[in-house]
Amino acid sequence: MQQRFLLTGATGYFGAYLLREAQRIADPIAAWSGSQTGELFGTKLHTIDLCQKNRVADYFRAAGPSLVVHSAAWATISRCFRDPPAARRVNVEGTRLLAELSEQSRARLLFVSTDLVFDGTRGMYDERDAPAPTSVYGQTKVDAEQAVLACPDSVVVRVSLLFGPSLTGRPSFFDQQVAALRNREPCELFQDEWRTPLGLHAAAAAIMRIARSGFRGLVHVGGPERMSRLEMGHRLAAFLHCDPSILVSTNRPVSGSIEPRPRDVSLDSTLWRESFPEAVWPSWNEALEAMAADFH
């Protein structure tokens, strides 16, 4: 069945993959950005700051979506730490507004959340584990999750660290690592921070599949392998046939850090795997191969 689809954060590192996946499925798409204008992959962008409530409400009603995928956010720990009130306005109040509008118009709402809702003391977290964020960013996402879950037809997907080449021309940390490896520039990576990384293409496919299903509630979507930042760098070097000796092993800062970085926020994705057994679940290498055409 065709759905009128609204995507926020379409110009983001992840949002661009979501937009491309949505285009593949070919429902009508309203693609929102925060500040960027023009179009992306031929889809017109609507520039809508989530803090401008009247504008959000007007454009929401004009789009008349039956399905909303909310990916827009202040999505880094450092940015949220620098200005917590502004981070709350975008991540919490902006999400609450979309939740209210979705409920009023009986649209289904999927919210993209993060593994950084956990404190990282244990790892392999599943949906029953209590969030305990160590950052302003993580706290805003927890609060936003609550607003979304209060909607009758909603789903919160906590995704792990995502990796792959940026589609937007704005280099990500991943792109910087690729450049460092190719240019033989030193690159420091934590050997004591673990995640379950998932390729952006697979994460986008997973989100769109969950969005279009009847699944409600909370679900974790991470990759099949738990690995450290340093190991990711070594695997990337091997994939690119680059010399890994430029990778410098470091530890997470224990003092002088703005906010403590969680040690291990790997996710247990069993519920997702059992609920969507046909979804692709690529290893690190399989994901890089699948995204090879997008490497610059």
Q: How many residues does the chain have?
A: 296
Considering the complex, state which of residue 15 and residue 223 has its C-beta at the smaller distance from ligand NAP: 15
71 binds ligand NAP (CB under 6 A): yes
Q: How far apart are CA 108 and CA 6, in angstroms?
A: 10
Residues in 14-33 at the binding interface with ligand NAP, rule: CB under 6 A = 14-15, 33
Q: How far apart are CA 71 and CA 206, in angstroms?
A: 14
222 binds ligand NAP (CB under 6 A): no
Shortest distance (Å) from residue 2 CB to ligand NAP: 25
Could you give the residue ranges of the DSSP H alpha helices within the chain? 15-25, 53-63, 77-82, 84-88, 94-104, 136-149, 173-183, 200-211, 229-240, 270-275, 284-290
Residue choice 3, 4, 23, 36 for contact with ligand NAP (CB under 6 A): 36
Binding to ligand NAP by CB under 6 A, coded x per residue (else -) over 120-159, reads ---------------------------------------x
How many CB atoms lie under 10 A from the CB of residue 60? 24
Residue choice 162, 178, 189, 219 for contact with ligand NAP (CB under 6 A): 162
Considering the complex, state which of residue 173 and residue 295 has its C-beta at the smaller distance from ligand NAP: 173
Residues in 242-271 at the binding interface with ligand NAP, rule: CB under 6 A = none
Considering the complex, state which of residue 52 and residue 183 has its C-beta at the smaller distance from ligand NAP: 52
Considering the complex, state which of residue 243 and residue 295 has its C-beta at the smaller distance from ligand NAP: 295
223 binds ligand NAP (CB under 6 A): no
Shortest distance (Å) from residue 113 CB to ligand NAP: 7
Long-range contacts at 27-35 (CB < 8 A, ≥ 24 apart) = 27/2, 27/3, 27/67, 28/2, 28/4, 29/5, 30/4, 30/5, 30/6, 30/59, 30/63, 30/65, 31/7, 32/6, 32/7, 32/8, 32/59, 32/72, 33/9, 34/9, 34/72
Give residues in contact with ligand NAP (CB under 6 A). Answer: 9-15, 33-36, 49-51, 71-75, 90, 112, 114, 159, 161-162
